[in-house]
Structure 1
Amino acid sequence: MTALDETPTKAGRRAWLGLAVLALPTFIVAIDLFVLLLALPNLASDLHAGANQQLWITDIYGFVLAGFLVTMGTLGDRIGRRKLLIIGSLAFGIGSVACAYAPNPETLIVARAVLGIAGATLMPSTMALIATLFPNPKQMATAFGIWAATFTLGAIFGPVIGGVMLAHFWWGSVFLLGVPIMLVLVVVGPKLLPEFKNPAAGKIDPTSVVLSLLALLPTIYGIKELAKEGIELVPAASLVIGIGFGVAFVRRQNRIESPLLDMSLLRNRTIGGSIVGMLCYTSFGGGLLMLMLLYFQLVGGLSSVQAGAALVPGMVTGAIGFQVMPKLAARFRPSYVMAGGMIAAAMAFVTMTQIDADSGNWPLIIAFAASSLVGVAMPGLGANLIVGSAPPEQAGSAGSLAQMANEFGSTLGLAIYGTIGAAVYRAVVELPPGLPAGTAAEAGDSISGAAASTAGLSPEAAGALMAPAREAFVSGLNTVASIGIVVLVAAAAFVGIRMRHVPPFGQAEAAPAES
């Protein structure tokens, strides 16, 4: 029997205070992701970090976090979710201080890796504790909506707070923002958060931990590098190696008595359907976000700060959507709400198939805002269903799967949709004649390369170079939007049919969740 089969009593004031505590690390993690990008130029200058070191500084957090999610989700189920959250919060605070005072790039990279390990403890533990605090399905859906909106608010305020800090203090100050908040969680958390662990859990299998890391880290690295550099031997080999270890990991989980990840969770119709839907939605969102930022800056003429501000309306509507969708899912079947949200988002993206280089920024801003309002039904309700459908003793593992769908989906989207956009650009761009060979090669590879190639050119020559580059880039964006629409509609059909057995939140389930 799953949590969705029950109609427990409602949680009280203490639970909502506990949710406020759980929102703290989520808010800080969101801010941390964005302030680093703002601080990167300053820290690169002060620490004399090269281009490759800068990439590792920005990427190592996500690599390590994704690699440890499965392990930490299961570890929380075994040793206690509150205990793991407290330990992770302490580690995050220590890692933040180490980042702030890093004397060289190597130390900063190691400190960011520590933050990644700590971050992997936070999200699965938080999701599982929300399920423990709010056993009532309606309240759980509302709580997950508030929790998800907290991340969006962190993304909104992160650049603003980071900009103020960088204007008055040194680059390391942005990493200290989370330290006092993590200390509050460490002090208050034990008083407001319940402890829960699986009393029948076996020991952690070290071989499975190693296999999970060997599967996830090379896979994510390969996908990211293929998206950046195209088809090359090392990232392609890394991807193949990661997939091979992934197969070995799955086989081992099916054989051993106490698996790191119970594969029956993935065979659950509600959990499996939610993961597929979230992967489809977040992958398109990840790829589209990168292309929109490039459009705002290199086609729409905005600065990097203005481009970030152009995303704020979409983040605000997304935060609103996270509050509205649980209420709809209490009246209608969640599968229909999620499917309807993806179809409505696909309709908003139709605008992106029609824009050209002279359309300006507002059509894209409005389309993103409209799609965010309705599209968040899939990740918001999906995370709730994944955790709520798992047995209580496996909620941490389920939370790691939900977070993995978001992390892996965004990474996959950057690779797939970014590659498609780049391929269209290269296929259709028509550069002006007479360009030096090196300039033509760089400008013909990407719109970023074209923009870089304008250095030293006269305004007339730069304009003649960028005009076809902008048109080719927008053609790629049109193509990506068209493909994404098809993917979202197909995912909506899958979710609507596969998960139609799930009743509105708070009602008894009409059909078994197992396939």
Structure 2
Amino acid sequence: MAMNDVATARVPGRLADRRRWAALAVLVGSVLLLAIDGTVLYLAVPSLTRDLAPTATQVLWIGDVYSLALAGLLVTAGTLADRIGRKKVLLTGSAAFGVASVLAAFSTSAEMLIGARLLLGVAGATIMPSTLSIIRDLFPDAGERSRAIAIWGAGSGGGLALGPLVGGALLDHFWWGSVFLVNVPVVAVFLITGALLLPESRDPAPGRFDLLSAGLSVAAITPLVYAIKHAVDQGLDAWTASSALFGLAAGVLFVRRQRRAQTPLIDVTLFRNPAFSGAVLADLIAIFALTGLLFFFSQYLQLVRGFDPLQAGLAEMPTTIAMTLVIGVVGWVVARLGVGRAVAAGLLVAAVGLLVVAAAEDANNYLWLALALLPVGLGVGLAMTLTVDAVVSAVPRHQAGAASAIAETAYELGVVLGIAVLGSVMALRYRAGLDVPDAARPAVEESAASALATLDPGSDLAGAVREAFIEAMQTTSVIAAVITAVAALVAWRTIPSGKKDETAGTGSTSGGG
């Protein structure tokens, strides 16, 4: 134990630069896999709907339960990684991720697929916080860490957009289960390279693990998301109210316990710092908007535009390209605007992009949609890179797992809420916008995907379904744009904007917003 701790303290100085950046490549590869797995299923929704016949609520759960499990368990997993070793937890979770991928690939019912996605999320929760923790340990220099996190952010955010392309290429040749089975060889490569390149690190004085706090963290998140989903499917009833109240009560108890605990899972006093709170909120909103858009945009391209899965994946590439470009411009932007204004500018650019997406969904030429996706990807990528850096840089190195868990929880909550909230708005708006005879409503109101899977594509009823789907997409995009613009205002007012040299890090900026 003592020898491990001594080795941990010397890791950054001992590893040659080339090996440190090679280790970063392994970490980015792991988070890229997780991010792709969060969105790779989107293009498969029409085909798995034909095979498994899920309800509209089950479709949302298939997309959401993965990130729901991640969000609920990240705090616990990050704390465990600090205690028993981040590399050990990372590699164990990766192996479990491969096993869960096989179960998902060969699911024979919607319920089985939801269960497999849940297991994927549990395994993924052990991977996500460990990647940022190890980066924090590998790159103690603020400038290098900022660049490393920008690359990590490109992998994490770009993976959300890259998922549909990977899914499209697979679905063009194989059945929908292939989008999960492809994880297995990737995991095998990661286990080998990770064992060779990654250093072990842990908190030398972690304190007692609080099992009750871990349970409360899960109990605070899961019921709230369930309440949103249930409200869409069944309306505002006793289950909706009781689930929401239970989640809120668990959240209050969790915060109170963290304030009193000697070794809390999350240091809630960090949220007294407006810059820290603003960074977490901005990170959550940026991913909320991007995920909510991509989840239904993939379906829109296939169901309305008539693209095949591969064409739809390629059509979303402007988002990925824009998020990758952030690596090259983040230092330049921060040097001229400061962190707070740079985050606000990124969110504002993303909001404008979402508005243009809403307008372009009616356009005959896809070019307008491609141009609209560029500012969305650029703005979200910039905001996410800077906010994650600010969160991770706010704590000492030995608490890297806890800080990483906060950043990752915000990220995954953004994914969960983006699909749950915007997905629910989408479903309600679609049903309200259906201009069809009452006798035909039962056949089409469940979802556009299930309706168009059985209707004659050239029929008037199919045309009405597509029109309702477009209107629902436009409404959802506008709502996401408004929320993102509000987050830009919050970031501008709370995150300091002291300007820095391009070689400096972003985590210790000072100055007014």
Shorter chain as normaliser: what TM range? 0.7 to 0.9
* Counterpart check, 1:15 vs 2:20: yes
Which residues of 2 match residues 9-48 of structure 1 at below 5 A? Answer: 12-37=17-42
Deviations 1:138-169 (A, max 9, x none): 21111112122224554565455555556666
Quote the offset at 1:253 in angstroms.
1.1
- 1:132 aligned residue: 137
- 1:394 aligned residue: 399
Which residues of 2 match residues 46-445 of structure 1 at below 5 A? Answer: 51=55, 58-100=63-105, 109-152=114-157, 154-155=159-160, 158-159=163-164, 161-162=166-167, 174-227=179-232, 230-330=235-335, 332-352=337-357, 354-355=359-360, 357=362, 359-421=364-426, 429=433, 431=435, 435=437, 437-440=438-441
Q: 3-state SS of the aligned residue for 2:393? A: helix
Whole-Å separation in 2 of the counterparts to 1:431 and 1:171: 32
* Counterpart check, 1:493 vs 2:484: no
Whole-Å separation in 2 of the counterparts to 1:101 and 1:485: 38
**More moved, 163-172 vs 365-374:** 163-172
- The answer to whether the 8 A contact 2:72-2:218 is kept is yes
Quote the offset at 1:317 in angstroms.
1.5
- The answer to whether the 8 A contact 2:60-2:419 is kept is no
Whole-Å separation in 1 of the counterparts to 2:424 and 2:115: 30
- List alignment gaps of at least 5 residues for structure 2: 1-11
Quote the offset at 1:16 in angstroms.
0.4
Deviations 1:50-97 (A, max 9, x none): 658776655442232222111011111222222211221222233334
Whole-Å separation in 2 of the counterparts to 1:484 and 1:82: 37
- The answer to whether the 8 A contact 2:153-2:381 is kept is no
**More moved, 353-362 vs 239-248:** 353-362
Change over 3 Å in CA distance of 1:176–1:340 after alignment to 2? same
- 1:448 aligned residue: 448
- The answer to whether the 8 A contact 2:97-2:120 is kept is yes
- List alignment gaps of at least 5 residues for structure 1: 1-7
Whole-Å separation in 2 of the counterparts to 1:176 and 1:475: 35
What letter corresponds to residue 435 of structure 2 in structure 1? L
**More moved, 491-500 vs 448-457:** 448-457
Quote the offset at 1:370 in angstroms.
2.4
Change over 3 Å in CA distance of 1:114–1:450 after alignment to 2? closer
Whole-Å separation in 2 of the counterparts to 1:172 and 1:454: 21
Whole-Å separation in 2 of the counterparts to 1:457 and 1:134: 55
TM-score, normalization by structure 1: 0.82
Q: 3-state SS of the aligned residue for 1:389? A: coil
- The answer to whether the 8 A contact 1:63-1:221 is kept is no
Deviations 1:414-461 (A, max 9, x none): 34444545555666x4836xx2x2324766x58728955993697356
- The answer to whether the 8 A contact 2:228-2:240 is kept is yes
Identical positions, percent: 37
- 2:459 aligned residue: 459
| Cα RMSD, aligned residues only | 3.8
Whole-Å separation in 2 of the counterparts to 1:99 and 1:440: 32
Whole-Å separation in 2 of the counterparts to 1:189 and 1:373: 30
Quote the offset at 1:175 in angstroms.
3.4
Change over 3 Å in CA distance of 1:412–1:202 after alignment to 2? same
Deviations 1:224-268 (A, max 9, x none): 444566545434432332122111111111122221222123223
What letter corresponds to residue 498 of structure 1 in structure 2? T
Change over 3 Å in CA distance of 1:387–1:462 after alignment to 2? closer
What letter corresponds to residue 284 of structure 1 in structure 2? A
- The answer to whether the 8 A contact 1:425-1:473 is kept is yes
Change over 3 Å in CA distance of 1:450–1:508 after alignment to 2? closer
TM-score, normalization by structure 2: 0.82
Change over 3 Å in CA distance of 1:92–1:342 after alignment to 2? same
Change over 3 Å in CA distance of 1:247–1:90 after alignment to 2? same
Quote the offset at 1:403 in angstroms.
1.6
Count of residues in correspondence between the two structures:
497
What letter corresponds to residue 70 of structure 1 in structure 2? V
Whole-Å separation in 2 of the counterparts to 1:347 and 1:407: 23
Quote the offset at 1:215 in angstroms.
1.4
- 1:5 aligned residue: none
Whole-Å separation in 2 of the counterparts to 1:294 and 1:191: 40
Q: 3-state SS of the aligned residue for 1:375? A: helix
- The answer to whether the 8 A contact 2:67-2:415 is kept is no
Q: 3-state SS of the aligned residue for 1:199? A: coil
Deviations 1:314-358 (A, max 9, x none): 222222224422443255411121111222233334434545745
Whole-Å separation in 1 of the counterparts to 2:93 and 2:108: 24
**More moved, 346-355 vs 381-390:** 346-355
- The answer to whether the 8 A contact 1:226-1:236 is kept is no
Deviations 1:105-146 (A, max 9, x none): 776555443322210011110011111111122211111121
Change over 3 Å in CA distance of 1:100–1:487 after alignment to 2? closer
**More moved, 100-109 vs 335-344:** 100-109
Change over 3 Å in CA distance of 1:148–1:224 after alignment to 2? farther
